[in-house]
Amino acid sequence: MLLSEIKGPEDIKERSIEELEPLAAEVRQFLIEKLSVTGGHLASNLGVVELTIALHYCYNSPQDKIIFDVGHQAYVHKILTGRMDQFDTLRKQHGLCGFVKRCESEHDVWEAGHSSTSLSAAMGMALARDLKGEQNKVIAVIGDGALTGGMAFEALNHIGHEKKDLMVVLNDNEMSIAPNVGAMHNYLTKLRSDRNYLRAKDEVEQLLKKIPAIGGKLAKTAERLKDSLKYMMVSGVLFEELGFKYLGPIDGHDLPGLIEAFHQANNVSGPVMVHVLTTKGKGYSPAEADSFKWHGITPYKIESGQVLKAVGNPMYTDVFGKTLIELAEQDSRIVAVTPAMPGGSGLLKFAERFPDRMIDVGIAEQHAATMCAALAMEGMKPVYAVYSTFMQRAYDQIVHDICRHNANVMFAIDRAGFVGADGETHQGVFDIAFMRHIPNIVLMMPKDENELRHMMKTALDYNEGPIAFRYPRINVPGVELDPELRSLPIGSWELLHDADGPVLIAAGPMVQVAEEAAELLKRDGIQAAVVNARFLKPLDENMLLELAHRGQHLVIIEEASVAGSLGSAVLEFYAAQGLSGLDISLMGVPDRFIEHGSIKEQLEEVGLTSEAIVKEIKQHRSAAHSFGLANKL
């Protein structure tokens, strides 16, 4: 087998071009077999097999910088750079990361879990190269979906202006995760259909070369003639107008064609755009037929394509989608807005039921946020459905356009808390901290699916400004649902169990963990109270004052960053009230990024388990007892 002989990119260069095609077939089969066990991003990686092989054949990594946008399509890159033997650990704790990871390999020069960053990174590396007087190549690989992100347009504009030598490989598969939308997608569709453009242009250029150089006027006329051809063949010629030399479209599964295109690109001075057409899921018929389903996949049977999923309760996302349809049937003002995640956010059935009230803006979180503010100002009830980690990109718009205007936007924040195998770039543990300090906003988190439904009703009935409900990437507990939805009193907490011992204050899934800890403590004769802190902002100030006067040990438990989240809010409240000497412990995510693994493993790593809570309380009681004895002595 050829693949077993590939220990690094230098081994690829020793092969003939004819040998690369069977190598591609082996890589494809390797991916299909390994991901059937581990799960992961299959369709996107099957689509870039030949492209990645061609890049490593033509360029000298890591001296030449190959930058993958997002990074979930870099499995082939990992295989070709010496990590094939680690694929059994893919996306597992302490194993191979599902994204590009700088500490994994010198060939991973840029890491990202969010899209549209590669062009800015490429520009930075090209600037650094030139300032240091070096000669290496810089290549950014970006998908057509990621190209809709505003940051990508900013970078394109700057690159075209500065005229730095770098190459952008546009991996055009007509998909991001969901089908692409927008004017850029339509423009690329036109380019795909103009396969004769380059051939015709080359013929004209050859003809012009035969004309004797008889002065600048003729040269300018000739240049205008070439431009006329471009405008005739491809409307707009966007990339060339931005300052790029455009090559393509090129068949992304034709290795000789790709290699020839990269050789041509190397002869170009300044920025060059190589437009490559690929098929997501290439070589595995189930993934080709449904690349959305096979974008990020759990283990599956290779022969049938049957996905192996554990039978259980629905996900919180599913409950959100179903409840939103119920509410939308009662209120025509509801409009769902998502940045390229209609499937992941549970909105596909909503889109079928209300096609005119479902808006997918593409990878454009900032635009989505500001658009929601305007929808709200015009009397609509926009529901901004977004992953916690992606919402980070819209922070300025949330502050400036939504909260400052006090616009009545409903935030449906999915993937709140740990997300498991996607790891540190996707953990939803920062949104409380970066949202609760913004004036006018209300933040909620349910302990179960029944409370989520009531929170959605609360958000719909709320007319005083922005309001958010956040929920995790896990299955719901499976509690009984109330037949009628009702609004919850804003800022109200729920005392689930009262006792004279420690008080466990928790939100979301941590409520169940706190209840489990209370049961464990009871076995040791410690009676603990449990509070469902379902409103993260505003706090239940009356309950907090009562708990302060009772003098019990308060343990605040949250699947969010300790810095700036619920625990910080409670401490700030008590400080503002002039209350000191209170007995408070904070348990949450420490001040570091938590890497990939299962959600269970991530919770164990940071001490957010019932056993860890019991240990914290017992150690606290022991320390307090020792301190008391010391004082008596």
d(C-alpha 256, C-alpha 447), whole Å: 56
Chain centroid to Cα 315, Å, comes to: 18
Chain centroid to Cα 158, Å, comes to: 25
In angstroms, how far is the first alpha carbon of the chain from the final one? 77
Q: Is 633 exposed, middle or buried (0-12, 13-18, 19+ CB in 10 A)?
A: exposed
Catalytic residue among 393, 436, 453, 534: 393
Q: Judge contact between 444 and 537, C-beta under 8 A.
A: no
- Give percent helix, percent strand, percent coil of the chain, each to the nearest 5: 45, 15, 40
- In the residue annotation, 280 being an active-site residue is answered as yes
Catalytic residue among 83, 280, 357, 415: 280
178 to 39, 164, 184, 295, 496: CA distances (angstroms): 19, 33, 15, 9, 41
Q: Which amino acid type is present at position 422?
A: D
> Tokens for 55?
């890049």
- In the residue annotation, 393 being an active-site residue is answered as yes
Q: Please, what sign has the CA dihedral across residues 277, 281, 283, 287?
A: negative
d(C-alpha 388, C-alpha 13), whole Å: 42
Q: Which amino acid type is present at position 379?
A: G
Q: Any idea which residue has 């169940």 for tokens?
A: 512
Across-strand partners of 442?
Answer: 467
Q: Which residues of 83-112 are buried (b: 16+ CB within 10 A; e: fewer)?
A: bbeebeebbbbebbbbbbbeebbebbbbbb
d(C-alpha 621, C-alpha 178), whole Å: 52
Phi and psi at 71, nearest 5°, equal 105, -10
DSSP string, 434-490: HHTTSTT-EEE--SSHHHHHHHHHHHHH--SS-EEEE--SSB---PPPPSS--PPPT
Q: Which amino acid type is present at position 461?
A: D
Q: Which amino acid type is present at position 38?
A: T
> Tokens for 624?
């307090």
Catalytic residue among 50, 111, 174, 365: 365
Q: Judge contact between 537 and 442, C-beta under 8 A.
A: yes
Q: Judge contact between 381 and 461, C-beta under 8 A.
A: no
- Which H or E element spans position 177? none
Phi and psi at 4, nearest 5°, equal -65, -20
In this structure, the strands spanning 381-387 and 410-414 are parallel
> Tokens for 198?
């380059």
d(C-alpha 177, C-alpha 113), whole Å: 13
Q: Which amino acid type is present at position 488?
A: L
Q: Catalytic residues, which ones?
A: 280, 365, 393
